[in-house]
Amino acid sequence: MLSLSIASPGTAVTFLRGNASANSTSSSFHGVRIQHQVSARATPAATIASSSRKLSVVMMSKREAELKDIRAKTTEELLEEVVDLKGELFMLRLQKSARNEYKSSEFRRMKKLVARMLTVRREREIEEGIGKRLSRKLDRQWKKSIVPRPPPSLKKLQEEEAAAEAAEAAKSA
């Protein structure tokens, strides 16, 4: 087990890493252990409490369920979702440039999601034995083969507008 410790006055942080197996597809990173230290000027009651050494473990796997979902998808599904997310990013940039209302946090969330999906794709290529150079060549070919299509949010907006127009036409007729 590998352990990295960072100490500051009053707190010690330890990053824990377990043994990585060759067949393991998940990370061997186990979390962060935070240990609060009591200063020398502490009261006797505080020193008794510090002898028990309270440890709190903060797990670093917030996105574990999301990664399971990503890894469960096929490579083709991943690539389709990447295209959709990039279309959504384009729509956000358009909203920003038109000074419309938008959530700025969506930029970061979508970029990170795209990066995770492309990382999973690259992990699969490495498992198949595809080298970096061939991977870049395949990536360029894939980018050229993408057929432009409206992102899902635009499709939904167009459907809503069409439904509203149909409702107006039905009222007037």
Instruction: Return the domain boundaries, the chain.
Output: 2-61, 66-158
* pLDDT tens for each residue of 98-147: 888 888 898 999 999 999 999 999 999 999 999 999 999 999 998 898 88
| Model pLDDT, residue 103 | 86
Domain 66-158 has CATH 3.30.750.210: no
Instruction: Give CA–CA dist 27/24, Å, rounded.
Output: 8
Share of the chain above pLDDT 70, in %: 64
pTM score: 0.56
Q: Is the pLDDT of residue 74 over 90?
A: yes
* Both structure tokens of 42: 């502490």
Sign of the alpha-carbon dihedral angle for 110, 63, 115, 84: negative
Instruction: Give CA–CA dist 120/124, Å, rounded.
Output: 6
Question: With bands split at pLDDT 50, 70 and 90, how would you rate the model's confidence at 24?
Answer: very low
Question: With bands split at pLDDT 50, 70 and 90, how would you rate the model's confidence at 72?
Answer: very high
* Both structure tokens of 71: 């890894």
Instruction: Give CA–CA dist 20/5, Å, rounded.
Output: 20
Instruction: Give CA–CA dist 1/3, Å, rounded.
Output: 7
Closest CA to 87 of 100, 72, 106: 106
More confident position, 84 or 42: 84
